[in-house]
Amino acid sequence: MTLIEDAKKGKKPPEVETVARREGVDPDKLARLVARGRAVIPRNLRREIDPIGIGETLTTKVNLNLGSSRGLADPGAEVEKAVVAMEAGADTVMDLSTGGDIDEIRRRVLDAVAIPVGTVPIYQAEVAGDLTSQGLFDALVQQAKDGVDFVTVHVGVNLNSLERLKASHRIMGVVSRGGSLTLKYMSETGEDNPYYAEFDHLLDIAREHELTLSLGDGLRPGCIEDASDRAKYMEFIMLGELVDRARRAGVQAMVEGPGHVPADEIETSVKAMKYVTDGAPVYLLGPIVTDVAPGYDHITAAIGGVIAGMSGADFLCATTPSEHLDLPTKEDIFEGTVVTRIAAHACDLTKPGVRERARHWDRKMAVARRDLDWPAQFDLAINPAIARKIRHRRGVDVETCTMCDELCAIRLAKEAMDREEMKEEEKKRKKIETNKRTKEIEG
């Protein structure tokens, strides 16, 4: 029995209980959401992990992508990135390695972190020089046996969507690596995407290994001009049909979304994904809201992430400052993870069912700021180290801070309000005294 099948039978598997307790959600309600496929808990039983839930009524989660490339393939560096991402608060990591001994990298990453790990099996088939139907399924089984918790499969890229793509007027064409490898397979063999054509076989494997499927958006737009074309929406519709099949087969599934999208098109995009997938958890890459900010794409993606989260997205993939430019360093990984966590929390502050819990954190920070309680402010900061470093970088030790110094608005206002309170107290004291004297005279 898979998790979704247990939940369909009204059971509450331990993972559901754990996630419900951590998130402050009723376990029966969460079990019902898992049964309907509106929340997923990716976990491969081969590995001990701290399970996390993604979807309706749950906090917005953050994934961090790492992985080698052909030119930069240092397993130790990728493991270090996984640990840095976890320490920075990532809920999951994906190993997207395509260079060096990718089996070693994957296994070491799986050993190094106690959070769910995702992969993209088509990369392994390509690296192994076996971009065939058998090679694709072998890679999937191998990664499942290694203990991977969720996999991206670009099932929306197939002969159907290829026709839409040919008829489109995209500037950037296909920018998804998995999507482009699938296109390569189809154009070289003349056959359909094996993961799509043999989706039932894929579901059998996922079911056997309790793999959660992340149905990839291989046709995601690579620039804002391409954001809302027919190819993309055609892919959403197909992913919705495949989500239905996954649920019927007892396999957990989420759907991936774009990409590069101007701010005013994000809500439509996310709502369309939710609608055509009957509320499947939505996993977003970005969305990056402008194409002109290389070096700052962790910020362009965070802006899009907030709008997407407010529109219903459940899971944000961190973008790092090196997006579009270079393989990320561990410093980029840390920065990208923290900035995406800020976006996720900003979403949570507005989400029904989540916002009260999320706002508790901000309320505590507001009290610490009001009280000029610096240690508490550092403890509550999303990145205490950077807050502490900036506060102390000039070596000045004042009760307020060097921004307004003696004109600290918080302190001046507090002193003024304290003075007003004393005046009120004095007024009350005088009134009581006058009343007392009047009674004495009358007596």
Closer residue to ligand SF4 (CB): 177 or 391: 391
Partner residues linked to 40 by β-bridges: 54
Euclidean distance between CA atoms 378 and 375, whole angstroms: 5
Q: How far is the CB of 419 from ligand SF4 (least distance, A)?
A: 18
The per-residue DSSP string of 176-229 comes to -HHHHHHHHHHHHHS---HHHHTHHHHHHHHHHHTPEEEE--TT--SSGGGTT-
Q: Is 401 in the site for ligand SF4 (CB under 6 A)?
A: yes
Contact segment (CB under 6 A) with ligand SF4 among 129-137, 251-259, 320-328, 405-413 equals: 405-413
CB of 346 to ligand SF4, least distance (A): 21
CA 213, 218, 222: angle at the middle one, nearest 5?
Answer: 135
**CA 430/CA 413 separation, integer angstroms:** 26
Q: How far is the CB of 368 from ligand SF4 (least distance, A)?
A: 11
Calpha distance 72→391 (Å, rounded) = 37
Smallest gap from Cβ 401 to ligand SF4, in A, equals 3
Q: Is 381 an interacting residue with respect to ligand SF4 (CB under 6 A)?
A: no
Q: Report d(CA 42, CA 25) in Å as an integer.
A: 18
Closest CA to 97 of 123, 64, 126, 117: 123
Q: How many C-beta atoms surround the C-beta of residue 411 within 10 A?
A: 15
- Residue 260, phi then psi, degrees to nearest 5: -115, 120
Binding ligand SF4 (rule: CB under 6 A), the pick from 132, 142, 410, 414 is 410
Count of positions on this chain that bind ligand SF4 (CB under 6 A): 7
Residue with tokens 């059971």: 11
- Residue 385 touching ligand SF4 (CB under 6 A): no
C-beta of residue 410 within 8 angstroms of C-beta of residue 373: no
User: For the chain, how many residues are written?
Assistant: 443
Q: Binding of ligand SF4 at residue 376 (CB under 6 A)?
A: no
Which of 325, 404, 416, 422 touches ligand SF4 (CB under 6 A)?
404
Q: Write down the least CB distance from residue 418 to ligand SF4, Å.
A: 16
Q: How far is the CB of 364 from ligand SF4 (least distance, A)?
A: 17
Q: What is the DSSP secondary-structure string of 106-119?
A: HHHHHHH-SS-EEE
Select the span of 182-190, 200-208, 332-340, 399-407 touching ligand SF4 (CB under 6 A).
399-407
Q: Which is nearer to ligand SF4, 403 or 441 (CB)?
A: 403
Stretch of 68-76, 245-253, 303-311, 406-414 lying at the interface with ligand SF4 (CB under 6 A) = 406-414
Closer residue to ligand SF4, CB minimum distance, 25 or 408: 408
Between 197 and 365, CB nearer to ligand SF4: 365
Of residues 2 and 377, the one with the C-beta less far from ligand SF4? 377
406 sits near ligand SF4 (criterion: CB under 6 A): no
Interface residue with ligand SF4, options 409, 417, 422, 432 (CB under 6 A): 409
Q: Which residues, at least 6 apart from 177, have a Cβ–Cβ distance to it below 8 Å? A: 96, 98, 120, 123
Q: Which is nearer to ligand SF4, 46 or 369 (CB)?
A: 369
Phi then psi for residue 94, to 5 deg, are -120, 130
Contact between 400 and ligand SF4 by CB under 6 A: the answer reads yes
Given 403, 436, 440, 442, the residue binding ligand SF4 (CB under 6 A): 403
Q: Does 408 bind ligand SF4 (CB under 6 A)?
A: yes
Distance of CA 148 to the CA centre of its chain: 18
Residue with tokens 């079911």: 207
- Residues numbered 339 to 358 that lie near ligand SF4 (CB under 6 A) are none
Residue (230 or 370) nearer to ligand SF4, CB: 370
Instruction: Classify residue 81 as exposed, middle or buried by CB count within 10 Å of its CB (0-12, 13-18, 19+).
Output: buried
Stretch of 190-198, 219-227, 271-279, 404-412 contacting ligand SF4, by CB under 6 A:
404-412
Binding residues (CB under 6 A) for ligand SF4: these are 400-401, 403-404, 408-410
